[in-house]
Amino acid sequence: MASQTPNSPADKATKKAADAPKRGIKNPFIYAGTVLLLVIVIIAFVFVPSVGGGMASGGDLSFGSYAGKNITYTQGNYLSRQVQTVNDALRQQGLSEQNFQFFAYQVWRQAFERTVFRFGVLDAVKSAGGHVTEKLLDKRMAENPAFQEDGKFSARRFREATMAEKLAIRDTLRDDLLADQYLSSVYGLNPSQKEIAFVKEMAKETRKIEFAAFPLSDYPETEVAAWAAQNAALFRRLTLSRITVPSSENDALKIRKQVESKASSFEDAAKAQSKDSYAEKGGASGARYFHELAGELEKKDDAEKVAALKKGELSPVFKTISGSYVFFRADEDASPADTAAAAFLKDAKDYVLRFERGRVEDWVAAKAKNFAAGAAADFAKAAKAAGVEAKSAGPFPLNYGDLAFNIYGQTVPLFKTVNVDAAPELSGASSSEKFLAAAFGLAPGAVSEPLVLGDNVIVLKVKEAGAALDEDLSGISLYYPYFYQQKLDGEVREIFLKSPKLKDNFMNVFFKYFSPKQS
């Protein structure tokens, strides 16, 4: 994530205390049940898991490694300092710690990614031969607050510090100075005036359009019913119980043999050994459509074998697309779907919209094409005749991807954007090459061919080709350098976060020590 302040990417390169700009991943985890979590509180509202058994030797909590260097949590080390920094920042932004797991995830993931960035930077500098002189280190040691008194170096404080403390401070200073070499070089890059002028030129040309949206949801039930009748086998109803074994096929075969030989009932085996959401119900998964089962198993032929089971029969062991192993018991014979039922038509339409989308798009596009043929003369009249609404949008520039940056905690567009609040059907237009090619490639008065945009087929007419106002362009010269720095920051971070040198075990470790348990 890019920095939240306009000058932070460059400025933070020179600040020893702020080791890396903020970065986060939003991931809402909400768990039911009584929370039982042993914690060590190092600062207010920071959740730190108990350093009990199962952790790295010495009580360290290891989340992975970068270039062979372990990313561990030890009180006072780099990761722990980032946990504290991120915690303070998120609380100031108003993130509530009431949902402790969501709050803890935000804190620890951001701190982890900052540490990865730090390790990656140091590895890159050292690999390139970067070094720090002992003379410079001595100077920074003397300037360190730990050895200052009344604004001056204190020989007394230096003597009183233990050798371990001095070495730790010196090592941190060395890493800070090495990191500064990288950050000042990379984030010291700035766009030229010619590049800024080129970007401003991109935003000058604008378009104002009329458009009509034909929703894919208009695909009629008669078409759904006709298609479903030809594909009725997909909607056979299967009432099954299941046992899922993630460990191995041999383990699944052993459990199946126990059930088949009556050494254990299916229900007891499911409760004791199955690893899925149906285990507590004795494996009962209820009635489902054939296509749902087929989408879960690695081979479609396996789903046909399940559908052929008679009541009470066990299936062979099959492999799922997730890599686990499963076998089923038929609780009823397979039955055909009631194709006349309203609930079936709804389910069939949902299936068609999801898995037969091309068929739906073709049908709606054909309807839209009939409209487009007569829309040039009077767009609004043609729209009314077609039963859709004629809307307007623009003027807007050719702003592919809705370029934006963050400043003072706010997202600011670099160029003017398509107003999707007023025209929600155009959501995604800025990243649709077909839409932008039509809007900027057609002459005023011309009507486009139908084009698919999200869940609609759009037909547009260019009402006006214009130029952006000076006030719309004036901010680009000021803001583009910040946009440039934030994009640079994001790309640099991705280099390290996607590096083969990174061994990321964060998720496994986090959920092992932060997941609430049932009391």
Place of tokens 């009183």: 160
Domain ranges of the chain: 8-188+499-514, 205-218+355-467, 237-330
Distance CA 41, CA 494 (A): 32
Q: Give the angle subtended at the CA of 314 by the CAs of 334 and 242, to the nearest 5°.
A: 80
Higher pLDDT, 36 or 389: 389
Distance CA 182, CA 173 (A): 15
Instruction: Map residue 329 onto helix, strand or coil.
Output: strand
First-to-last C-alpha distance (Å) of the chain: 38
Q: Which of 66-80, 223-237, 475-489 has the lowest mean pLDDT?
A: 475-489
Per-residue three-class SS string for 192-252:
CHHHHHHHHHHCCEEEEEEEEEEEHHHCCHHHHHHHHHHCHHHHCEEEEEEEEECCCHHHH
**Cβ–Cβ under 8 Å, residues 114 and 82:** yes
Q: What is the pTM of this model?
A: 0.63
Percentage of residues in the chain with pLDDT exceeding 90? 59
Q: Above 60 in pLDDT, residue 481? A: yes
> Which pair of tokens denotes residue 188?
């010291």
Q: Above 60 in pLDDT, residue 28? A: no
How many angstroms from the chain centroid is the CA of residue 350?
A: 25
Q: Above 80 in pLDDT, residue 97? A: no
Burial 289-316 (b: 16+ CB within 10 A, else e): bbbebbebbeeeebbeebbebeeeebbe
Long-range contacts of 432-435 (CB under 8 A, 24+ apart): 433/400, 435/460
> Cis link prior to 395 (omega < 30° from 0)?
yes
Place of tokens 């009249």: 381
Q: Above 70 in pLDDT, residue 30? A: no
Instruction: Map residue 516 onto helix, strand or coil.
Output: coil
Q: Above 80 in pLDDT, residue 18? A: no
Domain 237-330 sits in CATH 3.10.50.40: yes
Per-residue three-class SS string for 192-203:
CHHHHHHHHHHC
Place of tokens 């009990």: 52
> Which pair of tokens denotes residue 79?
């990761």
Half-sphere exposure of 408 toward its Cβ, with a 13 Å CA cutoff? 2
For residues 138-156, average pLDDT: 91
Q: In sequence order, what are the beta bridge partners of 464?
A: 208
For residues 382-407, average pLDDT: 90
Q: Above 70 in pLDDT, residue 38? A: no
Q: Above 70 in pLDDT, residue 40? A: no
Indicate the length of the chain as a whole number. 519
Q: Give the angle subtended at the CA of 152 by the CAs of 147 and 154, to the nearest 5°.
A: 40
Burial 429-451 (b: 16+ CB within 10 A, else e): bbebeebbebbeebeeeebbebb
Confidence category of residue 409, pLDDT binned at 50, 70, 90: confident
> Which pair of tokens denotes residue 255?
């459990």
Confidence category of residue 261, pLDDT binned at 50, 70, 90: very high
Distance CA 517, CA 113 (A): 27
Distance CA 354, CA 358 (A): 9
The pLDDT score that the predictor gives to residue 45 is 40
For residues 277-283, average pLDDT: 93
**Cβ–Cβ under 8 Å, residues 29 and 73:** no
**Cβ–Cβ under 8 Å, residues 38 and 50:** yes
Place of tokens 């490639």: 441
Residue 377: count other Cβ atoms within 10 Å of its Cβ: 9
Q: Above 60 in pLDDT, residue 247? A: yes
What's the burial of 414, exposed, middle or buried (CB within 10 Å: 0-12/13-18/19+)? buried
The H or E element spanning position 152 is strand 152-153
